Amino acid sequence: MRSNAYTRFCRRLMLRLVEKLQLEDISKKHMLEKANIKMTYKEYISTAIVTSLLSFITSLVISIMLYLMNPFPLSFLVAIILPILIPFFTSAYFIIKPTSMIKKREKEIDRLLPYVTNFVSTMASAGLSPAEIFKTLSRVDIYGEIKEESKKIAKEIYIMGVDMITALKHAIEVSPSRKFKEFLQGIVGTIQSGSDLNAYFENKVKEYMVDDLASRKKSLENLAVLAETFIITVIAFPLFLVIVISIMSFTSGGAGIPFSFLFVLSLIILPLAYVGYYVLMKGVWVEP
């Protein structure tokens, strides 16, 4: 998410209100930087306010039109609920988005860090300076969010003229990943103490590879447990239940459980169970 004509318009529209309320501070600025949302907090909160207001007005107009076209009690209920729910979910989206993006970026950085560290160690062994290493990383697309973090460091060094240590300290402040912060802090400490940077990178490669292997092993074990419970609860049990209900319905002369229950089971309960297991597996699975 980045600044555009709409967000800048929202900022100009709501600037006085936002400044009067004094909503901006350093922690919120860092939160947006960690989420890689490329706009000021004033612009972001202004966009949230204007978008929520627009969603309220739009939903209110639509609700009134629907009620006038179909003046029934249900239409009246919708006309009341819709202008409340839509602005609420719109506001919730803007509130939750930074935190959600931070968690997503942290997960990707932690996943890629062992392989990036190996790449960094190789470049350091070839004689490249830390500044050159981060400049190279900022051009490698496969490293995703670490590429974005490296781009910030390279920009400060090569465009803004900031020294290496200061650029790394700035990156530590706004990085969403605790492990990446520790990695950068280790580089700062190694440079300041005059220690061997190559040895530091080699040790980190070993440490992160061991952690990655343990994480993947744990992920596979959790997936195995989920697979077993999935087979029992979502495949075997429903089949057994359908057979039992069918037999009971025939043997009791139609006085058993109605077939409408089977439709509810097939069209609502089971699909929800599949979605639930999919979400669980996505949360447990460590991407290659």
Element containing residue 258 per DSSP (H, E) = none
Alpha-carbon distance 52 to 86, whole Å? 8
Same domain, residue pair 203 and 146: yes
Of 187, 211, 235, the residue at which a domain comes to its end is: 211
Same domain, residue pair 67 and 129: no
Same domain, residue pair 65 and 28: yes
| DSSP 8-state class, residue 233 | I
- Containing domain of residue 118, as a range? 107-211
Of 102, 117, 140, the residue at which a domain comes to its end is: 102
Per-residue model confidence as pLDDT tens digits over 208-250: 999 888 888 888 888 888 888 888 888 888 888 778 777 777 7
Burial 54-75 (b: 16+ CB within 10 A, else e): ebbeebbeebeebbeeeeeeeb
Total domain count for the chain? 3
Read off the pTM.
Answer: 0.76
Average pLDDT of the residues in 157-167: 93
Same domain, residue pair 202 and 266: no
Alpha-carbon distance 112 to 32, whole Å? 22
Of 192, 211, 230, the residue at which a domain comes to its end is: 211
Judged by average pLDDT, the poorest of 75-79, 147-151, 183-187, 255-259 is 255-259
Instruction: Name the range with the highest mean pLDDT among 12-21, 152-161, 235-244, 259-268.
Output: 152-161
Per-residue model confidence as pLDDT tens digits over 87-142: 999 999 999 999 999 999 998 999 899 999 999 999 999 989 999 999 999 999 99
Same domain, residue pair 216 and 269: yes
Same domain, residue pair 117 and 205: yes
Same domain, residue pair 262 and 218: yes
> Closest Cα to residue 75, out of 88, 62, 85, 87?
62
Quote the pLDDT of residue 220: 84
Same domain, residue pair 206 and 242: no
